[in-house]
Amino acid sequence: MNQQKVNKVVLAYSGGLDTSVILKWLQNEYGCEVVTFTADIGQGEELGIARDKAIAMGVKPENIHIEDLRHELVSDFAMPVFRANAAYEGYYLMGTPIARPLVAKRQMEIARAVGADAVAHGATGKGNDQLRFELGYYALNPNIKVIAPWRVWSLQGRSELVEYADAHGIPVQKDKRGAPPYSADDNILHISAEGKALEDPWLSPDEEVFTRSVSPENAPDKPSWVEIEFERGDPVALNGIRMKPVPLLEALNRLGGENGIGRLDIVDTRYVGIKSRGIFETPGGTIWQVAHRALESITLDRGESHLKDELMPRYAELIYNGYWFSPERQMLQALIDKSQEYVTGTVRLKLYKGNVIVEGRKSPFSLYSKSHVTFESDVVYDQADATGFININALRLRLIAQARHA
C-alpha cells in the first residue's frame, strides 16, 4: 500500500461495523490521531452508540463530534433540489446524493478546526458515494489528504471485517455478524436498499425491505387530504399551520407512509458505469414534488417551465455524480431559484393507496385566466387570430413539403 504520512484524520463515522473497523485500521496502519464525525441526518439511530464505541477504541472524548444536521439537510440541500423538480434518470429523488455533500462539508469544517491533514470515509470503490465525498473534499480544500480504505486495504467482504473486529476487540452485535440481506442507507428524506437479495432485478423485493411505508394494498380504504403552502418554491405550511423545514418533512413522511406513498423499485446507472437495482422509500418527498409541480403549473410561464424541464436532467446528474460544489451546479441553481420568485400559493392533495392526486391549486400570482380559457363567449380572445398564427407557423412545413415531395 502506498501510505502517505498522516498526523490527524477526521473519519466520517457511523459506529457500524465498516467504519468501526476503519477507525481501528487507521490507528494501526497510520499511527495517527483519529477524530470521528457522526452526522445526525435523520437516520433514526441511537447515535450515542457511536460515541461509546469510539471511546472504547481509544478516541479522546474531545475528538468525538456528533452533530444534528437535519435542518441544514432539508433547508440548504433538499429544498434547492426540489425547487428544480430534480429526479435522476426520471425517477430517483436522490435522498443519498443530497446528503453526502453536506456530510463532506461539515467534515471539512471539523478538519480545519482541529488541524487535521486528512479525512477518511467508508464508501466502496464501486459506488457513487466515494465521488460525492471526495469531490466535495477537494472542492473545499484542494490540498487535503483523502484515505479511502476500501480502495487500498486487503480486507474483502463482511466476513473478513468481522474477523478483523474480533481480532482487535471491536464489539460486533450478534445480528450484525451474518451477511445482511441488503445494504441500507437512511436519512430524513429517504431510505434505500441495495445489493445481496436485491441484485436480481427480476425478483420482487420482500415486504420486510420496506420500513417507512405500508404497502398500498394495506393502506387505509379512505383517502387523506393535505394542503401544502409554498413561498418562493419552498413548502412552509401544512393545512394552514406554518412549520419549520424538519417537522414539515417529518409530517409529510408520516402522511405518505400511512398511505403507501413513495415506494420505488428502479435500476439506475452509477457514475462509474455499473447499473444498480435499488428499492427506495421517499414518502414525504414524493408528496412534496407532486405539489410543487402542481403549483408551478399555474405560476410559471411556458418558457420558464419548459426551460426548467430541459435543464432538470443535467442538474440531477450533477448532484447524483457528486458535483454539488461545482460552478456549473451553482450556475444552474441560480437560474432555478430565479424561476421560483412567484411560485407561491397552496396545493390541495388527496392521498390514497400509493397515489398522490392533485385536487386543487391557487396562487396570488396565478397565470391561469378563466376569461381566456372558457368555452363560453368572451371578449378577450379573437379566435380568428389563430388563422394567421397557424399560417405563419405552417409556412416552413409547407415549403419543405413542396421542395421534397413535389
Give the integer Cα–Cα distance in Å for 406 and 401: 7
Contact between 182 and 195 under an 8 Å Cβ cutoff? The reply is yes
Instruction: Give 2 or 80, the one with higher predicted confidence.
Output: 80
Cα 217 from chain centroid (whole Å):
27
Question: What is the tally of structural domains in the chain?
Answer: 3
Active site residue 200: no
Active site residue 100: yes
Output the domain CATH number for residue 99.
3.40.50.620
If asked whether residues 323 and 338 sit together in one domain, one would say yes
If asked whether residues 214 and 295 sit together in one domain, one would say yes
Structural domain range at position 31: 8-80+93-179
Spot the catalytic one: 129, 186, 234, 268: 129
Cα 155 from chain centroid (whole Å):
30
User: What number of CA atoms fall less than 13 Å from residue 94's CA on the CB side?
Assistant: 37
If asked whether residues 288 and 141 sit together in one domain, one would say no
Is 267 part of a structural domain of the chain? yes
Give the integer Cα–Cα distance in Å for 316 and 324: 10
DSSP 365: T
Query: What nine digits make up the cell of 374?
Result: 372558457
Is 16 part of a structural domain of the chain? yes
pLDDT reported for residue 381:
79
Active site residue 206: no
Query: What nine digits make up the cell of 296?
Result: 408551478
Read off the pLDDT of residues 157-173 as tens digits, 9 standing for 90 and up.
888 999 999 999 888 77
pLDDT reported for residue 178:
61
- Taking all residues of the chain, what is their mean pLDDT, rounded to a whole number? 94
Give the integer Cα–Cα distance in Å for 117 and 292: 43
If asked whether residues 224 and 294 sit together in one domain, one would say yes
Give the integer Cα–Cα distance in Å for 393 and 398: 10
pLDDT reported for residue 383:
87
Contact between 64 and 36 under an 8 Å Cβ cutoff? The reply is yes
If asked whether residues 146 and 20 sit together in one domain, one would say yes
pTM: 0.93
If asked whether residues 15 and 73 sit together in one domain, one would say yes
**Mean pLDDT confidence for 245-268:** 98
Is the pLDDT at 181 greater than 80? The verdict is no
Q: In degrees to the nearest 10, what's the CA dihedral of 78, 9, 37, 194?
A: 60
Give how far Cα 223 sits from Cα of 143, 235, 357, Å.
55, 22, 10
Listed in order, strand segments (DSSP E) in 292-338 are: none
Spot the catalytic one: 183, 224, 297, 366: 183
Is 278 part of a structural domain of the chain? yes
If asked whether residues 336 and 193 sit together in one domain, one would say yes
If asked whether residues 346 and 273 sit together in one domain, one would say yes
Sign of CA dihedral 8, 14, 18, 24: positive
Is the pLDDT at 1 greater than 60? The verdict is no
327, burial (CB in 10 Å: exposed 0-12, middle 13-18, buried 19+): exposed
Output the domain CATH number for residue 277.
3.90.1260.10
Contact between 42 and 95 under an 8 Å Cβ cutoff? The reply is no
Spot the catalytic one: 100, 106, 212, 277: 100
Is 304 part of a structural domain of the chain? yes
Is 367 part of a structural domain of the chain? no
**Mean pLDDT confidence for 119-130:** 94
Is 257 part of a structural domain of the chain? yes
If asked whether residues 98 and 115 sit together in one domain, one would say yes
Is 370 part of a structural domain of the chain? no
If asked whether residues 338 and 273 sit together in one domain, one would say yes
Is 71 part of a structural domain of the chain? yes
Spot the catalytic one: 14, 18, 268, 361: 18
Active site residue 129: yes
